[in-house]
Amino acid sequence: MSENGVRRATIRDVAQAAGVSVATASNALNGQGRTNAETRERVKRVAEEIGFRPNALARGLLSRRSHSIGIITNDTYGRLTLPMTAGVSEALVDHGVSVFLCATNNDPRLARLHLEALLDKQVDGIIFTATRVDLPPPVDLTHLPIPVVYAFAEGPDTRVSFVPDDAQGARLAVEHLLSLGHRRILHITGPEDFAAVRRRAEAYHACLGREGEVMFGSWGEDWGHEAVRQMLARDEPRPEAIFCGSDETARGVIDALRDHGLSVPGDIAVVGFDNWHVVAAQTRPALTTIDMGLKELGRRAGLAILDLTQGKSVPLGIEAIACSLVVRKSCGAA
């Protein structure tokens, strides 16, 4: 009986209505055996007509799959993980696969507890995400008996990883500023020990050659303010444009320029990196920035984990997903 007292349709009801054996009905609904296409479609049609919903536990026992995957992340606030999770869910929902999201806050003990809980639930696979691509998981994922995919994180060569193409994104930003006629372009970015920071800086230098200057610092608006103060204190021509390593830093830069009587983009054009909508769209002027395609990155990770759980071959190693340029008002383009 269901919760409202109405008897639920069973696999036997489906078999009887379709005029087949219980085994044939089960094989048709699970895509197993040698059921011909006509019978398979008839069974599925009958199941839908009488409202049959297969028991998830029983289906899992038959297929040896739980039809669920786990996401382990150190992104407590979800700024990166939530759009990626939306992409993962989009890839899996039509296949009846559920997602368990577990935040670790980089705590190895908490990560182990989450991992043990996911394994106890017999998830079919695990996706690991982080707040920086070069951050290793707080728990060992290399010897698990189930597939593991890395998203916004670089796993070992024996695994599948998807990361944003930071170098390509930086080139988009600098080439856009160059196309607007800017030549003196300053790069204000985060800590140099971040792999993404180094890759973006290298791409920036490749576009500008020796003329480029990179100011490394901490992430956030405070560094944007301090970098502008240092820049204006120097006895040299100020830049025509500033490419920032994050949207938060860019907002600090824009506010600091305004505090010093400089307009954006009138005096100095500004471009960010992240397309964190709550920051980029609300900055005044609205911030031109690089979108890392987090939802697409999650979707690709979801499709990869789905293929792996079904025994299909997936190319191993790290795949960089292309970024895109989002043009708003801070760069001076129409």
The pLDDT confidence band at residue 6, using thresholds 50, 70 and 90, is low
For range 245-268, the mean pLDDT: 96
Looking at residue 33, its pLDDT comes to 64
Looking at residue 58, its pLDDT comes to 45
75, with CB counted inside 10 A (0-12, 13-18, 19+), is: buried
Looking at residue 215, its pLDDT comes to 97
172 lies in the same domain as 281: yes
91 lies in the same domain as 135: yes
pLDDT at 62 over 50: no
For 102-113, the pLDDT digits (tens) are 999 889 999 999
pLDDT at 16 over 70: yes
DSSP letters spanning 133-171? TTPPPSS--TT-SS-EEEESS---TTSEEEEE-HHHHHH
pLDDT at 63 over 50: no
Q: Which residues of 249-276 are buried (b: 16+ CB within 10 A; e: fewer)?
A: bbbbbbbbbeeeeeebbeebbbbbbbbb
What's the CATH code of the domain at 287? 3.40.50.2300
Secondary-structure breakdown of the chain: helix, strand, coil percentages, each rounded to the nearest 5 = 45, 15, 40
For the record, the structure tokens of 99 come out as 């997602």
Residue 201 lies in a domain: yes
Residue 276 lies in a domain: yes
Q: What average pLDDT does the structure give for the chain?
A: 89
- Contact of 52 with 267, CB cutoff 8 Å: no
Q: Which residue has better confidence, 108 or 47?
A: 108
172 lies in the same domain as 288: yes
Residue 331 lies in a domain: no
Taking the CA of residue 236 as centre, how many other CA atoms within 13 Å lie in the half-sphere pointing to its CB? 8
For range 119-140, the mean pLDDT: 91
For range 26-52, the mean pLDDT: 81
Looking at residue 61, its pLDDT comes to 38
Q: Is the pTM of this model over 0.85?
A: no
282 lies in the same domain as 299: no
171 lies in the same domain as 148: no
150 lies in the same domain as 187: no
Tally of domains within the chain: 3
Q: Which residue has better confidence, 317 or 47?
A: 317
The pLDDT confidence band at residue 4, using thresholds 50, 70 and 90, is very low
Token pair 């009846």: residue:
96
Residue 208 lies in a domain: yes
Single out the residue of 263, 16, 198, 257 nearest to residue 24, CA to CA: 16
202 lies in the same domain as 274: yes
For range 286-294, the mean pLDDT: 96
Residue 231 lies in a domain: yes
* % of the chain at pLDDT higher than 90: 63
Residue 22 lies in a domain: yes
29 lies in the same domain as 170: no
pLDDT at 54 over 70: no
193 lies in the same domain as 257: yes
Q: Which residue has better confidence, 195 or 29?
A: 195
Structural domain range at position 21:
11-63
For range 271-294, the mean pLDDT: 93
Looking at residue 1, its pLDDT comes to 44
112 lies in the same domain as 152: yes
Residue 330 lies in a domain: no
Hey, how many other C-beta atoms are within 10 angstroms of the C-beta on 60? 16
What's the CATH code of the domain at 50? 1.10.260.40
18 lies in the same domain as 82: no
299 lies in the same domain as 285: no
pLDDT at 27 over 80: no
